[in-house]
């Protein structure tokens, strides 16, 4: 894992640090300064393709030029290993830290179904994760592991829960072994979903001891104050050291109890590097949550300039 001083790599200043390498590799000096802005994320691609659209300038300034996570799923990239390598290498060349989301558990989104899918089975997922972690290699990175994975047990059988926990354990082992300079945060739902003690038990069962910590509010809208309160309660219930990440991408107006393209939401605080509790744009603002809410015809993961504009203005 990264050395304790490594949090400096996310600051606005530049830090040169030696990062831990596998025993067979020489230790290397990596200079990083801030978080990586991916020019290939949906908002950036839309702006590039629609330069004369009257919404383009606002979306460029408010969203597409901001650092946020790149989501890797079973269908997002034809060649996963090559895509992950290219993304993390581009960030390394730029001297930035990339944020990746691994989102491919079998039977994911078992309750909501808007993002249903995932790997065909346990063996396929383990191979996918090996490819994902190998693509990162020794390059520094932040990984958010499997959004919603620990929040939707009510829709699963005991056998399915056991399998999921086993796969999350396998994922944390694989990342620790093949991507040793990655900070992994297992998703821990949000403040209005699972009580802190229960979530702490699930995190422990999922292998959080091998991760850097956990993430809250991923793709949700709950205010940062409430999300931090929940995260601190989960952290206390873990009874072990753990850091956490808060997704602030769309929580500028807080939540209204709805999770799928709700009206009246707004961009939140831009990604920052608070050593005690990272605040990152994990969801990509403007991407639809599914065919619902104010975007009833736009499937999950597809960028909508209309949704982006609503988040910029807080409009309904």
Say whether 193 counts as a known binding-site residue: yes
Residue with tokens 């999921």: 164
The SS3 call for residue 257 is: coil
Q: For the whole model, what pTM was predicted?
A: 0.89
Residue 106 near residue 146 (C-beta atoms within 8 A):
no
Please, what are the domains in the chain? 4-313 (3.20.20.40)
Say whether 128 counts as a known binding-site residue: no
* pLDDT score for 288: 96
* Of 148, 152, 187, 247, catalytic: 148
* pLDDT score for 110: 65
Residue with tokens 């650092």: 67
Say whether 259 counts as a known binding-site residue: yes
Annotation marks residue 201 as catalytic: no
Closest among 225, 213, 316 to 268, alpha carbons compared:
225
Say whether 71 counts as a known binding-site residue: yes
Residue 217 near residue 252 (C-beta atoms within 8 A):
no
* pLDDT score for 221: 97
CA distances from 245 to 21, 242, 279 (A): 24, 10, 6
Each residue's pLDDT tens digit in the chain (316 positions)?
333 334 444 443 333 323 333 333 333 334 456 899 999 999 999 999 999 999 999 999 999 999 999 999 987 777 999 999 999 999 999 999 999 999 999 988 767 666 667 898 999 999 999 999 999 999 999 999 999 999 878 888 999 999 999 999 999 999 999 999 999 999 999 999 999 999 999 999 999 999 999 999 999 999 999 999 999 999 999 999 999 999 999 999 999 999 999 999 999 999 986 665 689 999 999 999 999 999 999 998 999 999 999 999 997 6
Helix axis angle, 80-94 relative to 122-136, nearest 10°?
30
Annotation marks residue 289 as catalytic: yes
* pLDDT score for 28: 38
> Which burial class, exposed, middle or buried, applies to 58 when counting CB atoms under 10 A from its CB (0-12, 13-18, 19+)?
middle
Say whether 261 counts as a known binding-site residue: no
* pLDDT score for 316: 64
> Which burial class, exposed, middle or buried, applies to 176 when counting CB atoms under 10 A from its CB (0-12, 13-18, 19+)?
middle
């Amino acid at each position: 894992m990264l050395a304790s001083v490594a949090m400096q790599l996310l600051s606005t200043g530049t830090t040169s640090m030696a990062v831990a390498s596998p025993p067979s590799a020489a230790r290397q000096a990596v200079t990083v300064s801030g978080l990586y802005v991916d020019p290939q994320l949906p908002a950036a691609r839309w702006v590039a393709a629609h330069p004369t659209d009257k919404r383009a300038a606002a979306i460029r300034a408010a969203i597409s030029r901001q650092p946020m996570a790149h989501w890797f799923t079973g269908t997002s990239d034809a060649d996963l290993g090559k895509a992950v390598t290219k993304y993390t290498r581009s960030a390394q060349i730029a001297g930035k830290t990339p944020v990746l989301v691994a989102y491919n558990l079998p039977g994911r989104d078992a309750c909501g179904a808007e993002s249903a899918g995932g790997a065909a089975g346990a063996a396929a997922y383990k191979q996918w994760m090996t490819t994902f972690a190998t693509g990162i290699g020794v390059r520094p990175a932040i990984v958010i592991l499997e959004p919603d994975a620990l929040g939707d047990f009510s829709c699963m059988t005991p056998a399915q829960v056991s399998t999921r926990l086993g796969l999350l354990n396998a994922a944390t082992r694989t990342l620790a072994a093949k991507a040793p300079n990655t900070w992994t945060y297992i998703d821990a739902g949000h403040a209005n979903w699972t009580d802190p003690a229960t979530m702490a038990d699930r995190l422990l069962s999922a292998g959080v001891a091998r991760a850097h910590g956990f993430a809250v509010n991923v793709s949700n809208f709950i205010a940062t104050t409430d999300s931090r309160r929940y995260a601190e309660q989960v952290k206390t219930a873990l009874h072990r050291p753990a850091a956490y990440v808060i997704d602030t991408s769309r929580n500028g107006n807080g939540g209204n109890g709805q999770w799928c393209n709700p009206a009246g939401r707004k961009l939140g605080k831009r990604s920052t590097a608070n050593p005690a509790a990272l605040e990152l744009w994990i969801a990509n603002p403007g991407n639809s949550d599914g065919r619902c809410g104010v975007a009833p015809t736009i499937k999950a993961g597809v960028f909508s300039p209309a949704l982006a504009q609503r988040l910029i203005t807080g409009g309904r």
